[in-house]
Amino acid sequence: MERLKTFWFRRRRGLQALPVRVRVTVAVIAAATCAYTLWFAFDVLASVPDRDEIRAFRVMAQASVLFDANDRPVFTLAKEHRIEVPLADVSPHLIRAVVAVEDRRFFDHEGFDPVRILGSTVAVLRAGRAVQGGSTITQQLARQSLGREKTLRRKLKELLIAIELERHYTKQEILELYLNKVYFGDGLYGAEAAARGYFGKRAAEVTIAEAALLAGLLQAPSAYAPTVNPEKAQARRAVVLHAMVDTKAISTAEYEHAARAPLRLRDNLRGHEPYGAYFKEEVRRQLVQQFGWQRVSEGGLHVYTTIDMAKQRAAETAVAQSLRAIDRTLVRARAPRRAAASEPVPESNDSLQAALVAIDPETGAVQVLVGGREFAQSPYNRATQAHRQPGSAFKPFVYAAALEAGYRPDDEIDRLDEPLQLTQAVWSPDDEHVSESSLTLREALRVSSNRAAVRLLDEVGLQRTLDMAGAFGFERLPNVPSVALGSGEVTLNAMTAAFAAFANGGLVSRPFLIRRVLDHDGAVLFDQHEPARRAISPETAYRMADMLADVIDFGTGSVARRLGFDLPAGGKTGTTNDFRDAWFIGFTPTLVAGVWVGYDQPRTIRANGYASAVAVPLWTQFMKMATRGDEPRWLREPRGLDEDEGLRGGVLAEGEERPKKRGFWARLFGLGDDRPRRGDRRGGVVIIDDNERDE
pLDDT at residue 615, as a whole number: 96
pLDDT at residue 135, as a whole number: 81
Separation between Cα atoms, residue 403 and residue 540, nearest integer Å: 6
Mean pLDDT of 472-484: 91
Structural domain count, the chain:
2
- Asked if the model's pLDDT at residue 119 lies above 90, the reply is no
pLDDT at residue 590, as a whole number: 96
- Asked if the model's pLDDT at residue 490 lies above 90, the reply is yes
**CATH number (domain holding residue 390):** 3.40.710.10
pLDDT at residue 639, as a whole number: 86
C-beta atoms surrounding 642 within 10 Å: 9
pLDDT digits (tens, 9 = 90+) for 309-351: 999 999 999 999 999 999 988 776 655 554 444 444 334 457 9
Q: Which residues are catalytic?
A: 102, 392
Mean pLDDT of 634-655: 68
> Is residue 354 located within the same domain as residue 492?
yes
Separation between Cα atoms, residue 437 and residue 592, nearest integer Å: 34
- Asked if the model's pLDDT at residue 120 lies above 60, the reply is no
> Is residue 386 located within the same domain as residue 253?
no
Does residue 146 form part of some domain? Answer: yes
Long-range contacts formed by 8-12: CB under 8 A, 24+ apart: none
Residue closest to 311 by CA, chosen among 366, 377, 380: 366
Q: What is the DSSP string of 481-527?
A: GGGGGT-S-B-HHHHHHHHHHHHTTTEE---BSEEEEE-TTS-EEEE
**How confident is residue 68, by pLDDT bands cut at 50, 70 and 90?**
very high
Does residue 310 form part of some domain? Answer: no
Does residue 403 form part of some domain? Answer: yes
Dihedrals phi, psi of 91, to nearest 5 degrees? -60, 135
Separation between Cα atoms, residue 104 and residue 356, nearest integer Å: 59
H helix or E strand, kind and range, residue 394: none
Residue closest to 626 by CA, chosen among 650, 651, 592: 592
**CATH number (domain holding residue 139):** 1.10.3810.10
> Is residue 238 located within the same domain as residue 370?
no
Q: Is 352 helix (H, G, I), strand (E, B) or coil?
A: coil
Does residue 653 form part of some domain? Answer: yes
411: left (phi over 0), alpha (psi -120 to 50) or beta: beta
> Is residue 512 located within the same domain as residue 630?
yes
Torsion, CA 672, CA 677, CA 682, CA 684, rounded to 10: 30
Task: Of 171-185, 438-452, 654-668, give the lowest mean pLDDT range.
Answer: 654-668
Does residue 99 form part of some domain? Answer: yes
Does residue 330 form part of some domain? Answer: no
- Asked if the model's pLDDT at residue 518 lies above 60, the reply is yes
> Is residue 93 located within the same domain as residue 204?
yes
> Is residue 561 located within the same domain as residue 662?
yes
332: left (phi over 0), alpha (psi -120 to 50) or beta: alpha
- Asked if the model's pLDDT at residue 672 lies above 60, the reply is no
pLDDT at residue 129, as a whole number: 47
CB contact at 8 A, 679 and 443: no
Does residue 471 form part of some domain? Answer: no
Q: What is the DSSP string of 191-209?
A: HHHHHHHHHSS-GGG--HH
Mean pLDDT of 131-156: 64
Mean pLDDT of 259-266: 93
Single residue among 228, 260, 292 that ends a domain in this structure: 260
Mean pLDDT of 355-367: 97
Cα distances from 24 to residues 10, 16, 17, 19, in angstroms, run 19, 11, 13, 9
Separation between Cα atoms, residue 230 and residue 264, nearest integer Å: 10
> Is residue 374 located within the same domain as residue 511?
yes
Does residue 61 form part of some domain? Answer: no
User: ∠ CA(94), CA(83), CA(70), 5° rounding?
Assistant: 135
Kind of pairing between the strands at 524-527 and 426-427: unpaired
C-beta atoms surrounding 235 within 10 Å: 12
pLDDT digits (tens, 9 = 90+) for 180-207: 988 999 889 999 999 999 999 999 999 9
Residue with the larger pLDDT of the pair 355 and 130: 355
Instruction: Give residue 571's domain range.
Output: 350-407+486-668
- Asked if the model's pLDDT at residue 686 lies above 50, the reply is no
pLDDT at residue 369, as a whole number: 98
Cα distances from 90 to residues 14, 177, 624, in angstroms, run 69, 12, 47
- Asked if the model's pLDDT at residue 54 lies above 50, the reply is yes
Long-range contacts formed by 195-199: CB under 8 A, 24+ apart: 195/94, 196/83, 196/267, 196/268, 196/269, 197/81, 197/267, 197/269, 197/270, 198/226, 198/227, 198/265, 198/266, 198/267, 199/264, 199/265, 199/266
Single residue among 218, 243, 260 that ends a domain in this structure: 260
pLDDT digits (tens, 9 = 90+) for 10-34: 555 665 665 766 556 766 676 666 6
The helix-helix angle for 152-168 and 20-46 (nearest 10°) equals 30
Q: What is the DSSP string of 80-119?
A: SEE----GGGS-HHHHHHHHHHH-TTTTTSSS--HHHHHH
Residues in the chain: 695
- Asked if the model's pLDDT at residue 51 lies above 80, the reply is no
Single residue among 260, 280, 313 that ends a domain in this structure: 260
- Asked if the model's pLDDT at residue 478 lies above 50, the reply is yes
